[in-house]
């Protein structure tokens, strides 16, 4: 379960990690009142559970006079298919230098990995690709915990005057990672303002299997939250072709096939196995929420899932919308009861293929040609 930035910062502050002064606003007027309390320039941050909000206009600096106008703009901005319902209003920090601190679980090693870098404010993957020597990392035995010598090593990228403070923040973030059963705990950037270190951003992803013992309510919003509640694996992407598949491997292969033909996927949605017609209908409802998607591609290999039941779900969705879809639908069906499934779809005029490559070619061609599809 992904936490919003403000939720992660509440935990960080409670556990002793410095965070900027700020609060959540639910409307532009609240944003103005919070800004007035802060009494200085602020940063307005859309609270959404997808990446890329900065590039999409979801993070804006503002004076008190501009707060209502700019917060209204953020509330009306769609960020990868989601409209923010909350804005975090925070004091604007004076940044002398930005650092990175993150902890993730390396499944290949079977243990947490803690990383720091002098290159903060950018994706750590980009730093690893461009300047791997600027990343300091250690593996931690989960049964023994993190030792002081490890933390001293991780503190090296920080200025000497705040190295002790960095030492404390690293130790506390590891405590949070363990205490809250996290899969990812990240501060990027961890800002040095010339006097102290402050967590300008906060990411905390909780292992779903631990929620029974963690006191969290699911507050996921938008498409990813709805998909999660329905039991689907869903990831928002930047392309124009929405994808539904059954099984992570098949769904990923479909994304690859679309890329190979020159298209770009708008999402990854894995319905899993044994999905009834109602489940297939719900999956379509979810991907049709993504306003960036221009076309929907369904790829199902009938094994545990039966092709006729998948087709029934598609028909239910089609009929519920009065036989008119605002995005074209291309379907590839093969496997158990595929002939019956194809018959059902052909009766309602849905484009259906047996061969994946032909289905992908059709989807990509239609999006590229676009003429209202």
Average pLDDT of the chain, as a whole number? 93
What confidence score (pLDDT) does residue 14 get?
A: 95
Active site residue 353: no
- Least confident interval from 10-14, 79-83, 218-222: 218-222
Point out the catalytic residue in the list 5, 6, 100, 353.
Answer: 100
Cis ω before 336 (30° cut-off from 0):
no
Point out the catalytic residue in the list 5, 186, 221, 338.
Answer: 186
- For 245, phi then psi, to 5°, come to -140, 170
What confidence score (pLDDT) does residue 83 get?
A: 86
Reported as half-sphere exposure (CB side, CA atoms, 13 A), residue 41 has a value of 7
Q: What is the mean pLDDT of residues 290-296?
A: 92
Active site residue 288: no
Instruction: Determine the angle formed by the axes of helices 356-369 and 248-260, rounding to 10 degrees.
Output: 50
Question: Which pTM was predicted?
Answer: 0.66
Q: What is the mean pLDDT of residues 328-351?
A: 96
Which pLDDT band holds residue 276 (cuts at 50, 70, 90)? Answer: very high
- Burial level of 85, CB count in 10 A (0-12/13-18/19+)? middle
Strands 97-106 and 135-139: unpaired
pLDDT tens profile 220-268: 556 877 888 888 989 889 899 999 999 999 999 999 999 999 999 999 9
| Domain architecture of the chain: domains with CATH | 21-91 (3.30.1490.20), 97-213 (3.30.470.20), 222-369 (3.40.50.261)
pLDDT tens profile 111-149: 999 999 999 988 899 999 999 999 999 999 999 999 999
What sign results for the dihedral spanned by CA atoms 217, 47, 244, 247? negative
């Amino acid at each position: 379960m992904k936490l919003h930035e403000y939720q992660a910062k509440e935990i960080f502050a409670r556990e002793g990690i410095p965070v900027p002064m700020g609060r959540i606003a639910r409307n532009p007027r609240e944003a103005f009142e919070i800004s007035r309390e802060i009494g200085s320039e602020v940063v307005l941050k859309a609270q959404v559970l997808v990446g890329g909000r900065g590039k999409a206009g979801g993070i804006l600096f503002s004076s008190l006079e501009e707060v209502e106008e700019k917060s209204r703009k953020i509330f009306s901005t769609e960020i990868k298919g989601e409209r923010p319902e909350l804005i975090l209003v925070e004091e604007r920090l004076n940044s002398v230098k930005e650092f990175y601190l993150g902890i993730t679980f390396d499944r290949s090693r079977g243990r947490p990995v803690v990383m720091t870098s002098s290159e903060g404010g950018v994706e750590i993957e980009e730093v690893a690709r461009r300047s791997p020597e600027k990343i300091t990392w250690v593996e931690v035995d989960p049964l023994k915990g993190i030792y002081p010598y490890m933390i001293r090593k991780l503190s090296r990228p920080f200025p000497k005057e705040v190295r002790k403070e960095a030492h404390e923040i690293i130790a506390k973030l590891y405590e949070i990672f363990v205490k809250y059963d996290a899969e990812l705990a990240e501060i990027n950037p961890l800002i040095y303002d010339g006097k102290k270190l402050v967590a300008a951003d906060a990411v905390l992803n909780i292992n779903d299997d631990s929620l029974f013992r963690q006191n969290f309510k699911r507050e996921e919003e938008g498409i990813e939250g709805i998909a999660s509640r329905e039991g689907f694996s869903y990831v928002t992407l930047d392309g124009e072709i929405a994808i539904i598949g059954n099984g992570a491997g098949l769904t990923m292969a479909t994304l690859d096939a679309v890329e190979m033909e020159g298209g770009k996927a708008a999402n990854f949605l894995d319905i899993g196995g044994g999905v009834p017609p109602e489940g297939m209908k719900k999956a379509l409802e979810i991907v049709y929420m993504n306003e960036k998607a221009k076309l929907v591609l369904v790829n199902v290999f009938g094994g545990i899932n039966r092709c006729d039941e998948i087709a029934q779900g598609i028909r239910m969705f089609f009929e519920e919308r009065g036989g008119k879809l605002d995005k074209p639908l291309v379907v590839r069906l093969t496997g158990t009861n595929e002939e019956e499934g194809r018959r059902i779809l052909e009766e309602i005029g849905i484009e259906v293929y047996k061969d994946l490559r032909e289905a992908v070619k059709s989807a990509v061609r239609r999006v590229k040609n676009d003429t209202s599809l």
